[in-house]
């Protein structure tokens, strides 16, 4: 992969488009724009390249890079709804962004998730419009025939919903956890049907997920694969921290003309003749808008940033999937990921992986289920949740209608995700008994009512010497988990999900390998005690959205960008990443973020008259 390390040379190039962030969306946008030979494209990425690093490439090593040199090391503020705990918010500081650090799950939300964006007035963002862009990003590798029966690896055939020649390879894992063979049968036992077409517009049911892995090499497939051999008109500068978008007044309006960035301690400016594209993610896209003078007057004033464009929703509307890792004891005779900490077993597994591209190092969590609340809670409790959701005052009438309708039993939307994996996924659970092995049932709330914010820190504002906040300082990340009437609704849904997870883990055949609970322990019996345990053990699922949302019909009063992803009040500036989602989706994010990048690139070219 060709990347530049000469910042002086980079800054001297006359770019048509400059992209801030070489991550999931940013590299998709850059690659597609560079298909027009007459354009000159620049990408600035704060991290370095991790291409070829085993901690990124080997599937079973997923998670090892979290907290390391490829991570931004973000943290939330202390969360009152979580007992005052502060959570790590891992984000990728590496070429490829968080697509280089995630667990490679590849799925999509339901049709209704994307249609809801369009219902809010964001034309062209419904399921039917987005599906071609989902397909454009992916290259699906059908599994061997025996996989379908042995591992419930099913999809609709003939395949009209999956792409065949995109840059991101997606496939079923080569090998599976021994517990996966019990997953479908257990859910079927409690009345949840298998969904053989979970990528076709409805993810409700139990299924085996595909992952972003190239089966030919058994390695992670991530955003860098958009530009493994970049064309001559695409220039990528790594270890370049963008500090500000340069905004100049033109004909009485603010316009983006370039960026200021630092590279190994030196300051540079790069210019863009056509547009600047902000693809820094849900944390740093709002941060950079504020550092550039676009945002709430009070936030910018407190941080010492001169206000240029009043945009009250920058950094607001933060939505995050809330995850609850429940831990159970598991049969110690099962092959277990903890075995890989044993030197001899780890060496043998690595040798098999290098030789055959198979074995333990190709295993990923792939036991999935998405269920509506109506499957988890009694009818009267679902009715109560629906009624309470209609009384929330924070959302406008359109959003309230969409959110409350998700409790309708005829909608059948996946409000809670269940993922099962061997190993202890709970950072708060420290086993006290030696010789025991553990498994985890992960519950992930898909449509959170909690709303938080991400802003530059007023503490980093003007000091005695008048220095304002900078991009070198972490923003204030405040998800507001379980806070207020919105958060209370989330907590109740998670309570029902936790009780259902306990039911699943006490149902055969999964029960045959689970001797009993570990965290919460068997002593946690009452709903009150279980609520308390949920508060103490909830963590993030690393899926933040919404902080630069599309405003739809209400425009700047409800968002930061229009349906063409153009920043309100600034010419030549767009945001293209997960932050533009006005409402969260029932899915892991990466496939949708690639689709946003693909669609965003098309919009840029259409608006420039370079594509019809």
Q: Which residues pair with 278 in a beta bridge?
A: 20, 575
Q: Give me the sign of the Cα torsion angle 88, 93, 96, 101.
A: negative
212 φ, ψ (degrees, to nearest 5): -85, 75
517 φ, ψ (degrees, to nearest 5): -75, 155
Please state, in angstroms and rounded to a whole number, the distance separating the CA atoms of residues 484 and 548: 23
Say how many C-beta atoms besides its own lie within 10 A of residue 436's C-beta: 12
Tokens describing residue 362: 């190709």
Best CA proximity match to 82, nearest among 283, 320, 322, 425: 322
Tokens describing residue 248: 């100049």
DSSP category for residue 35: T
169 φ, ψ (degrees, to nearest 5): -80, 130
- Please, are residues 95 and 51 in contact by the beta-carbon 8 Å criterion? yes
Q: Which residues pair with 266 in a beta bridge?
A: 263
Please state, in angstroms and rounded to a whole number, the distance separating the CA atoms of residues 283 and 543: 11
Instruction: Work out whether strand 74-75 and strand 168-170 pair parallel, antiparallel, or are unpaired.
Output: unpaired
Q: Is 455 labeled as catalytic in the residue annotation?
A: no
Residue tagged active-site, from 263, 321, 543, 584: 543
Dihedral angle over CA of 298, 240, 264, 547, nearest 10: 30
Q: Establish how many alpha carbons lie within 13 A of residue 300's alpha carbon, considering only the half-sphere containing its beta carbon.
A: 23
- Please, are residues 185 and 24 in contact by the beta-carbon 8 Å criterion? no
135-153 burial code (b ≥16 CB/10 A, e <16): bbbbbbbbbeeebbeebbb
Task: Count the helix, strand and coil residues of the chain and give each as a percent rounded to the nearest 5.
Answer: 35, 25, 45
Maximum pairwise Cα distance, the chain: 73
Secondary structure element (H or E) that encloses residue 385, with its range: helix 379-390
- Please, are residues 89 and 542 in contact by the beta-carbon 8 Å criterion? yes
- 594 to 7, 333, 509, 600: CA distances (angstroms): 28, 40, 37, 10
DSSP category for residue 498: H
Please state, in angstroms and rounded to a whole number, the distance separating the CA atoms of residues 204 and 372: 7
- Please, are residues 209 and 215 in contact by the beta-carbon 8 Å criterion? no
- Dihedral class, residue 417 (left if φ above 0, else alpha if ψ from -120 to 50, else beta): beta
Please state, in angstroms and rounded to a whole number, the distance separating the CA atoms of residues 305 and 272: 23
Tokens describing residue 273: 């003749």
Tokens describing residue 107: 């799925």
The per-residue DSSP string of 415-448 comes to -EEEEEEES---TT----STT-EEEEEEEEESS-
Dihedral angle over CA of 604, 262, 471, 104, nearest 10: 60
C-alpha angle with apex 370: 493 to 328, nearest 5 degrees?
75
74 φ, ψ (degrees, to nearest 5): -70, 155
* Residues tagged active-site: 543
């Amino acid at each position: 992969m060709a990347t530049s390390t000469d910042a002086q040379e980079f800054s001297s190039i006359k770019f048509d488009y400059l992209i801030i962030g070489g991550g999931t969306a940013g590299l998709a946008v850059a690659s597609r724009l560079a298909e027009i030979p007459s354009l000159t494209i620049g990408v600035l990425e704060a991290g370095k390249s991790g291409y070829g690093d085993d901690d990124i490439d080997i599937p079973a090593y997923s998670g090892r890079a979290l907290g390391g040199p490829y991570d931004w090391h973000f943290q939330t503020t202390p969360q009152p709804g979580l007992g005052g705990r502060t959570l790590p918010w891992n984000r990728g500081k590496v070429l490829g962004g968080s697509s280089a650090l995630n667990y490679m799950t590849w799925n999509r939300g339901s049709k209704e998730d994307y249609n809801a964006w369009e219902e809010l007035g964001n034309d062209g963002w419904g399921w039917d419009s987005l599906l071609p862009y989902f397909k454009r990003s992916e290259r699906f590798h059908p599994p061997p025939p025996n996989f379908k029966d042995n591992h419930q690896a099913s999809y609709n055939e003939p395949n009209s919903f999956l792409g065949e020649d995109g840059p991101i390879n997606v496939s079923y894992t080569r090998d599976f956890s021994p517990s996966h063979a019990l997953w479908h049968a257990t859910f079927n036992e409690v009345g949840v049907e298998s969904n053989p077409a979970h990528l076709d517009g409805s993810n409700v049911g139990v299924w085996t997920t595909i992952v972003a892995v190239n089966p030919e090499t058994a390695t992670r497939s991530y955003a860098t694969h958009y530009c493994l051999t970049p064309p001559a008109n695409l220039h990528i500068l790594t270890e370049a921290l963008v500090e500000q978008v340069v905004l100049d007044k033109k004909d009485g309006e603010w316009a983006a003309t370039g960026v200021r960035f630092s590279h190994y301690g030196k300051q540079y400016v790069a210019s863009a003749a056509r547009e600047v594209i902000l693809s820094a993610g849900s944390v740093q896209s709002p941060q950079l808008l504020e550092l550039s003078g676009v945002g709430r007057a009070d936030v910018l004033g407190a941080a010492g940033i001169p206000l240029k464009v009043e945009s009250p929703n920058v950094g607001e509307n933060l939505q995050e999937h809330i995850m609850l890792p429940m831990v159970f004891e598991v049969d110690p005779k099962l092959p277990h990921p903890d075995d890989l900490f044993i030197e001899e077993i780890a060496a043998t597994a690595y040798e098999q992986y290098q030789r055959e591209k198979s074995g333990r190092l190709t295993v990923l969590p792939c036991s999935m289920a998405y269920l509506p609340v109506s499957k988890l809670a009694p009818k009267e409790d679902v009715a109560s949740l629906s009624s309470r959701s209609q009384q929330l005052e924070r959302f406008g009438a359109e959003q309230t209608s969409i959110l409350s309708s998700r409790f309708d039993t005829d909608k059948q939307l996946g409000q809670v995700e269940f993922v099962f994996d061997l190993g202890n996924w709970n950072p708060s659970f420290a086993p006290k008994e030696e010789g025991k092995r553990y498994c985890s049932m992960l519950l992930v709330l898909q449509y959170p009512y909690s709303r938080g914010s991400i802003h530059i820190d007023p503490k980093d504002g003007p000091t005695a010497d008048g220095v304002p906040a900078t991009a070198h300082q972490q923003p204030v990340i405040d998800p507001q988990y379980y806070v207020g009437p919105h958060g209370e609704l989330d907590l109740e849904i998670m309570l029902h999900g936790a009780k259902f997870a306990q039911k699943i883990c006490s149902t055969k055949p999964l029960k045959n390998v689970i001797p009993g609970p570990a965290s919460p322990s068997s002593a946690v019996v009452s709903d009150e005690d279980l609520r308390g345990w949920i508060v103490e053990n909830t963590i993030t699922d690393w899926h933040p959205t919404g902080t630069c949302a599309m405003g739809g019909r209400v425009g700047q009063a409800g968002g930061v960008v229009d349906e063409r992803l153009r920043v309100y009040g600034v010419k030549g500036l767009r945001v293209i990443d997960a932050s533009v989602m006005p409402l969260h989706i029932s899915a892991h994010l990466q496939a949708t973020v690639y689709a946003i990048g693909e669609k965003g690139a098309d919009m840029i070219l259409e608006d420039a008259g370079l594509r019809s």
